[in-house]
């Protein structure tokens, strides 16, 4: 039977103490609920239904890049009510996979073996469960004479039930026809006056349907996130999974405990990542690069053989065998060529830098177009802002810009030109020429001796 997923994500998540809806909090750079949506898309061809409610507009716009259908639950009356809201998007004779938007660590393989268990045992309802060291907050799995009879929520449980360690993960497989038939049988007669989806277990048992629990070994996959402590735990688990996968694929990670790679980052083999490195967003790092220590790269392309040390790179491209850092800051919109050197305390913003150019120290390149084989001396400043507009500076191939030069944009230096140290460039420098604009030096002999005598 076809699998159709329903993902519950309408709750506020009070325990997060946040203005933001819980399911939009991120781990490894991706909202909790998006992890779950990606999982369901990997499992079945049918579009998942995401139940949203609390700040639904915010949630929907944050997820607008995903191909899902929505059901809006205006009042969060419980997980049973949330599923009921989505019933008109469910057809008979499907297998419904229910997932909670706050349980993002579950693996594809685990869901696949759950489906296999459900099909092979010819079940009508199955709940994925786990044994946890501390069951607090979870619904307890009640088994009587080896039969899985019901789920009791923490708040409704008696003392002996509270001691049980097998708990509900919030992942279910249900025969859609029977779900449609019995969803209205759930009532809110409990401590929280909520419609509990978990009541279906008892209802299905009473009807004589086939119900069983599927207990998985690694409970960390089923960690439900209700507060920031659990958010950090989940982040850590996912981080290690990502790092392990990269290492298996041929990336050297010196210290996986101190390397933070988001879910969508791609890294080529024989690249070495030093500690304290954070790679975010849609970053792609090529083969044989050296990244870090203490480096942050976001939404950027780093080509083969590049070395980025103790630096930040955002929304930019760094070409092959280029060296950046230590302490460089590459801001959005920069396109840096091959075999370039961007040294210490150099800031580059919205600029193009040609191949083999050297910018070794203490320089600001803002809104610049710098050609090939250019040398920018120490302390060069692209004066790009006149207080109203940002203007561009162009330096053509093979030019040499001396130390402590100010380039007042808009301005250009043509090919093979020299600009003497300390010059303030206010008009075009022609090709093959020297520009020098500074006071002539004057020496006053004996000045110090005379001053000392006074």
Angle formed by the axes of helices 108-120 and 32-43, nearest 10°: 50
* Residues in CB range of 197: below 8 A, 6 or more apart: 78, 79, 80, 82, 83, 98, 172, 186
Residue 48 binds which one of Ca ion, ligand UD1, none, with CB within 5 to 8 A depending on kind?
A: none
Q: What are phi and psi of 452, to 5 degrees?
A: -65, -40
* Environment class of 443 (CB within 10 Å of its CB; exposed 0-12, middle 13-18, buried 19+): exposed
Residue 151 binds which one of Ca ion, ligand UD1, none, with CB within 5 to 8 A depending on kind?
A: ligand UD1
Q: Judged by CB under 6 A, does residue 51 bind ligand UD1?
A: yes
The residue from 6, 151, 307, 378 that contacts ligand UD1 (CB under 6 A) is 151
Residue 21 binds which one of Ca ion, ligand UD1, none, with CB within 5 to 8 A depending on kind?
A: none
Q: Judged by CB under 6 A, does residue 138 bind ligand UD1?
A: yes
Residue 196 binds which one of Ca ion, ligand UD1, none, with CB within 5 to 8 A depending on kind?
A: ligand UD1
Contact criterion met (CB below 8 Å) for 168 and 196: no
Q: Which of 25, 35, 182, 361 is catalytic?
A: 361
Kindly write out the interface string for residues 229-268 of this chain, putting x where it contacts ligand UD1 by CB under 6 A and - elsewhere: ----------------------------------------
Q: Judged by CB under 5 A, does residue 31 bind Ca ion?
A: no
Using only the alpha carbons of the chain, give its radius of gyration: 31
Among 337, 344, 352, 349, which Cα is nearest to 383's?
349
Give the Cα separation of 224 and 215 in Å (integer).
16
Residue 118 binds which one of ligand UD1, Ca ion, none, with CB within 5 to 8 A depending on kind?
A: none
Give the Cα separation of 222 and 169 in Å (integer).
6
Residue 25 binds which one of ligand UD1, Ca ion, none, with CB within 5 to 8 A depending on kind?
A: none
Residues 96-125 that bind Ca ion (CB under 5 A): 102
Task: For residue 241, give both structure tokens.
Answer: 């999974």
The residue from 6, 9, 213, 395 that contacts ligand UD1 (CB under 6 A) is 9
Question: 385 vs 52, 158, 366, 429, 453, CA distance in Å?
Answer: 46, 70, 9, 20, 48
Which helix H or strand E contains 231, and what residues bound it? helix 228-248
Residue 242 binds which one of ligand UD1, Ca ion, none, with CB within 5 to 8 A depending on kind?
A: none
The residue from 86, 94, 168, 311 that contacts ligand UD1 (CB under 6 A) is 168
| Residue the block writes with tokens 């008892």 | 202
Q: What is the distance of C-alpha 197 from the center of its chain?
A: 31
Closer of 101 and 292 to ligand UD1 (Cβ): 101
Closer of 53 and 268 to ligand UD1 (Cβ): 53
Smallest separation, CB 188 to Ca ion (Å): 18
Smallest separation, CB 103 to Ca ion (Å): 7
The residue from 29, 139, 343, 366 that contacts ligand UD1 (CB under 6 A) is 139
- Residue 187 CB-half CA count within 13 A: 3
The residue from 224, 337, 366, 402 that contacts Ca ion (CB under 5 A) is 224
The residue from 196, 204, 329, 382 that contacts ligand UD1 (CB under 6 A) is 196
Q: What are the start-end ranges of the E strands in 268-384?
A: 272-273, 277-280, 284-285, 290-291, 296-298, 301-302, 307-308, 312-314, 317-318, 323-324, 329-330, 335-336, 341-349, 352-353, 358-366, 368-370, 375-376, 381-383
Closer of 104 and 268 to Ca ion (Cβ): 104
Kindly write out the interface string for residues 66-95 of this chain, putting x where it contacts ligand UD1 by CB under 6 A and - elsewhere: -------x--xxxx-xx-------------
Start-end of H helices in 63-168: 79-85, 108-120, 159-162
Among 336, 331, 371, which Cα is nearest to 350's?
331
Task: For residue 30, give both structure tokens.
Answer: 């991706």
Count of residues interacting with ligand UD1 (CB under 6 A)? 30
25 has catalytic annotation? no
Q: Judged by CB under 6 A, does residue 170 bind ligand UD1?
A: yes
Closer of 37 and 348 to Ca ion (Cβ): 37
Q: Which residue is nearest to ligand UD1 (CB)?
A: 139
Burial 110-144 (b: 16+ CB within 10 A, else e): bbeebbebbeeeebbbbbbbbebeebeebbbbbee
Q: Which residue is nearest to Ca ion (CB)?
A: 224
Smallest separation, CB 226 to Ca ion (Å): 5
Q: In the complex, which residues of this chain contact ligand UD1 (CB under 6 A)?
A: 8-11, 23, 51, 73, 76-79, 81-82, 100-103, 138-139, 151, 153, 167-170, 196-198, 224, 226
Catalytic positions:
361
Q: In the complex, which residues of this chain contact Ca ion (CB under 5 A)?
A: 102, 224, 226
């Amino acid at each position: 039977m076809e699998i159709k997923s329903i993902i519950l994500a309408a709750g506020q998540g009070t325990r997060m103490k946040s203005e933001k809806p819980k399911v939009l909090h991120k781990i490894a750079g991706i909202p909790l609920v998006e992890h779950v949506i990606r999982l369901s898309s990997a499992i079945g061809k049918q579009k998942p239904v995401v139940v949203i409610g609390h700040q639904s507009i915010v949630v929907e716009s944050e997820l607008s890049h995903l191909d899902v259908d929505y059901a809006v639950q205006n009042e969060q009356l419980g997980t049973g009510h949330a599923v009921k809201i989505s019933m008109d998007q469910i057809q008979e004779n499907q297998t419904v996979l229910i997932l909670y938007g706050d349980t993002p660590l579950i693996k594809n393989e685990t869901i696949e073996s759950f489906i296999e268990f459900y099909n092979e045992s010819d079940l009508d309802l199955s709940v994925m469960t786990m044994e946890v060291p501390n069951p607090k907050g979870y619904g307890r799995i009640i088994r009587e004479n080896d039969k899985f009879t019901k789920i009791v929520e923490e708040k409704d449980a008696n003392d002996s039930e509270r001691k049980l360690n097998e708990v509900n993960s919030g992942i279910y497989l249900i025969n859609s026809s029977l779900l449609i038939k019995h969803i209205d049988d759930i009532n809110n007669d409990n401590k929280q006056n909520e419609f509990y989806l978990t009541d279906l277990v008892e209802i299905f048992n009473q009807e004589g349907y086939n119900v069983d629990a599927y207990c998985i070994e690694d409970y960390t996959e089923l960690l439900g996130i209700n507060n920031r402590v659990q958010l950090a735990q989940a982040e850590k688990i996912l981080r290690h999974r990502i790092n392990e996968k990269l290492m298996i694929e041929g990336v050297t990670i010196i210290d996986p405990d101190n390397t933070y790679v988001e879910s969508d980052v791609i890294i080529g083999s024989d690249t070495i990542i030093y500690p304290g490195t954070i790679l975010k967003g849609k970053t792609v790092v090529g083969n044989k690069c050296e990244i870090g220590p203490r480096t942050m790269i976001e939404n950027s392309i780093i080509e083969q053989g590049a070395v980025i040390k103790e630096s930040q790179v955002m929304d930019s491209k760094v070409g092959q065998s280029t060296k950046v850092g230590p302490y460089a800051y590459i801001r959005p919109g920069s396109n840096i060529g091959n075999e370039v050197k961007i040294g210490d305390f150099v800031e580059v913003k919205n600029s193009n830098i040609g191949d083999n150019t050297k910018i070794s120290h203490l320089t600001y390149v803002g809104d610049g177009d710098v050609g090939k084989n250019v040398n920018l001396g120490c302390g060069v400043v692209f004066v790009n802002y006149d207080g109203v507009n940002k203007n561009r500076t162009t330096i053509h191939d093979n030019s040499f810009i001396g130390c402590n030069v100010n380039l007042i944009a808009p301005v250009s230096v043509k090919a093979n030109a020299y600009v003497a140290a300390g010059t303030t460039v206010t008009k075009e420098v022609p090709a093959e020429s020297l520009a020098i604009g500074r006071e002539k030096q004057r020496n006053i002999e004996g000045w110090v001796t005379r001053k000392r005598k006074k």
